[in-house]
Structure 1
Amino acid sequence: MRSDSRFRVFTDEEWARIQPLLPSNTGRRGHPFGDDRRVVEGIAYRYRTGIPWRDLPREQFGPWQTVWKRHRRYAGDGTWDRVLAKVLGDADAAGKIDWAVSVDATIARAHQHATNTTRPEQDTGAGSNHKNLPWAEIEPAGHGIGRSRGGLTTKIHQAVDGRGRPLAMIVTGGQRNDGAMLMGVLAEIHVPRHGPGRPRTRPDAVIADRAYTSGVARAELRRRGIKAVIPEKRDQIAARKRRGRRGGRPPGLDKDAYRGRNVVERSFAFAKQWRGLATRYDKLAITYRAGATINAILNWLRHIGDTL
């Protein structure tokens, strides 16, 4: 790969952190993959620019077919989720994760190149934990594309730490209700510990807007011992007041903590600087989500730098 920085996404230091975690460097059987960096930079460059796979500069990244096949393989076997988990584990061990977690979703318009596949009209694309497999290894029936007010769209549901770095994400159709995906997104948080002990999966608090204010969600958060920082909807407030004493007490809201919810919006703003995430060109939900996961890894590496 030539040294032209226009074609590079990862710095040398960032690449040094993720290279040992890739399958070709972790005891993989068979013929080893060649020139990992050139291929991975090609994958990231494609999502950063939003160009078709066939238009990847061959001089910089080699044959586009090689880049695409490696991306499809890494997306299907959960490679990028394992890399993100390792980065998160290192960050947690160094005390760099703020466990006041914000949850929200963002919509991306699906380009016509992403929609020329057979799919149910109203499939939600929520395939998490099917047959006890992680989300990354499942392609949902509708490919995570649905029909909403904006047309054919896809939605990224994401949980970020208190500084806006992604911890977990799920891709669904654009019509999928945000609140219905809350527990699914939280179930994807999986931060391994250094040494003995189970991975951490429980935030200290969940901060979210009114779309997540259902009684079911509050009850589940309370059962798990997670503080809910979620305001009530106006109709819920009115219904409770109409019932008088039988309506019960209003749920508490930590207004100071709620002011920090904007970090999830900043995380989406960072992700959508990559044109291939701002508009979905991928036919497969797992490859689109893998691109978002690479962006999340870069987000963490840019924030924590040499502190790990």
Structure 2
Amino acid sequence: MSRAAVLSDSEWARLEPLMPSSKNCPGRPFQDHRRILEGIIYRYRAGIPWRDLPESFGPWQTVWKRHRRFSGDGTWDAIMTRLLSQADAAGLIDWEVSVDSTVNRAHQHGTNLPRTTGGTSNYTNLLTEPADHAIGRSRGGLTTKIHALCDANLRPLVILLGPGQGGDSPMFPEVLGSLRVPRLGGGRPRTTPDRAMGDKAYSSKANRKMLRDRGIHAVIPERSDQVANRKRRGQAGGRPPTFDKVSYKRRNVIERCFEVFKQWRGIATRYDKLALTYRGGVVLRAIIIWAKALGDTP
């Protein structure tokens, strides 16, 4: 197989019906979706400038504009949602989920747009470019943080962005609230996992109460300062929260999920100026993961 090609025929057969038709979109008719999609994938996999795309993918401007369009109009998210519905119907989603974030260095070519800084706002409005472009300053310099929720099989369910200095705990309600998998046979979408696992960064009374109110079993260890504070207060400190050490050993699936994402160099390092297009590349990576997982399932 050519290194310029990623999609198999069976994977493209699953994605092709989900791609937008020119009949429903204004402007010129779309060029071959498969060639353009392979070009977008190649760019993120290799981590090269858009202008350096091989000519076999067509004009680089066309590839870039297609990705910018589909990132901004919700096309990538719609395809991702459809694949999640198919996977849920096929029983491929394990609803023991893990949450975490990973910090990615922003390349100097992706940080030269004017931006509002100083805040810790997270990128939750997926179709609007944030004022800070989801770039912040942390110990690693100018960075972007990917917040993700994955199932027990290392496959992503939710992907959000935030600046590198943003906290994980305040973002947890947004991440969990973004979990929505429609059912192919009708009915209410599934929004509640059976169990949610996170590291000590997610240990807060607000997060535990949110999970308890929604009937989700929490597997989150206490921070040492929380333990000390509870013991210092004696009986007034209350009982320690339940914690399943055996189940917590499986939380590493989210770290391994990030490893799979960062095999694409354009995700491991952010070269995109816009948060819209960078997140679009991350969602596209998730689309490919689910397309491969679905394989030839009906």
Shorter chain as normaliser: what TM range? over 0.9
Q: Paired residue for 1:214?
A: 204
Unaligned runs of 5+ in 2: none
Question: TM-score when scaled to structure 1?
Answer: 0.93
CA contact (8 A) 2:15 2:291 kept: no
Unaligned runs of 5+ in 1: 129-134
Question: Deviation per CA, 1:21-63, whole angstroms, max 9, x where unpaired?
Answer: 11127844664312111111100100000000000011x1000
State the Cα distance separating 1:100 from its structure 2 match: 0.7
* 1:21 maps to which of 9, 14, 18: 18
State the Cα distance separating 1:302 from its structure 2 match: 2.3
Counterpart AA for 1:22: M
* 2:52 maps to which of 51, 55, 58: 55
State the Cα distance separating 1:203 from its structure 2 match: 1.0
CA contact (8 A) 1:159 1:167 kept: yes
Q: Provide the C-alpha distance between the structure 1 equivalents of 2:118 and 2:246, rounded to a whole number of angstroms.
A: 39
Please tell me whether residue 11 in structure 1 is matched to residue 8 in structure 2.
Answer: yes
Please tell me whether residue 246 in structure 1 is matched to residue 256 in structure 2.
Answer: no
Q: Provide the C-alpha distance between the structure 1 equivalents of 2:161 and 2:274, rounded to a whole number of angstroms.
A: 10
* 1:93 maps to which of 89, 95, 99: 89
Please tell me whether residue 278 in structure 1 is matched to residue 278 in structure 2.
Answer: no
Q: Paired residue for 1:77?
A: 73
Q: Paired residue for 2:105?
A: 109
Secondary structure of the structure 2 residue equivalent to 1:92: helix
Secondary structure of the structure 1 residue equivalent to 2:129: coil
Secondary structure of the structure 2 residue equivalent to 1:180: helix
CA contact (8 A) 2:181 2:189 kept: yes
Question: Structure 1 residues 25 and 221, CA, compared in 2 at 3 Å: closer, same or farther?
Answer: farther
CA contact (8 A) 2:101 2:148 kept: yes
Q: Provide the C-alpha distance between the structure 2 equivalents of 1:244 and 1:161, rounded to a whole number of angstroms.
A: 38
Counterpart AA for 1:136: L
Q: Provide the C-alpha distance between the structure 2 equivalents of 1:25 and 1:15, rounded to a whole number of angstroms.
A: 18
Question: TM-score when scaled to structure 2?
Answer: 0.97
Counterpart AA for 2:65: K
Secondary structure of the structure 1 residue equivalent to 2:158: strand
Q: Paired residue for 1:288?
A: 278
Question: Structure 1 residues 114 and 162, CA, compared in 2 at 3 Å: closer, same or farther?
Answer: same
Percent identity between matched residues is 58
Q: Provide the C-alpha distance between the structure 2 equivalents of 1:26 and 1:249, rounded to a whole number of angstroms.
A: 61
Question: Structure 1 residues 67 and 277, CA, compared in 2 at 3 Å: closer, same or farther?
Answer: same
Q: Provide the C-alpha distance between the structure 2 equivalents of 1:117 and 1:18, rounded to a whole number of angstroms.
A: 34
State the Cα distance separating 1:303 from its structure 2 match: 2.7
State the Cα distance separating 1:127 from its structure 2 match: 3.4
Question: Deviation per CA, 1:246-300, whole angstroms, max 9, x where unpaired?
Answer: 1111000112211110100111000000000000000000110110111111112
Q: Provide the C-alpha distance between the structure 1 equivalents of 2:181 and 2:288, rounded to a whole number of angstroms.
A: 17
Secondary structure of the structure 1 residue equivalent to 2:285: helix
Question: Structure 1 residues 125 and 9, CA, compared in 2 at 3 Å: closer, same or farther?
Answer: farther
CA contact (8 A) 1:165 1:299 kept: yes
Q: Provide the C-alpha distance between the structure 1 equivalents of 2:214 and 2:247, rounded to a whole number of angstroms.
A: 19
Q: Provide the C-alpha distance between the structure 2 equivalents of 1:224 and 1:138, rounded to a whole number of angstroms.
A: 29
Secondary structure of the structure 1 residue equivalent to 2:147: strand
Q: Provide the C-alpha distance between the structure 2 equivalents of 1:178 and 1:109, rounded to a whole number of angstroms.
A: 17
Secondary structure of the structure 1 residue equivalent to 2:239: coil
CA contact (8 A) 2:134 2:144 kept: yes
How many residue pairs match? The answer is 298
Q: How does 1:1-308 map to 2 (within 5 A)?
A: 5-24=2-21, 27-28=24-25, 31-58=28-55, 60-128=56-124, 135-308=125-298
Q: Provide the C-alpha distance between the structure 2 equivalents of 1:305 and 1:181, rounded to a whole number of angstroms.
A: 33
CA RMSD of aligned residues (A): 1.4
State the Cα distance separating 1:88 from its structure 2 match: 0.5
Q: Provide the C-alpha distance between the structure 1 equivalents of 2:181 and 2:66, rounded to a whole number of angstroms.
A: 25
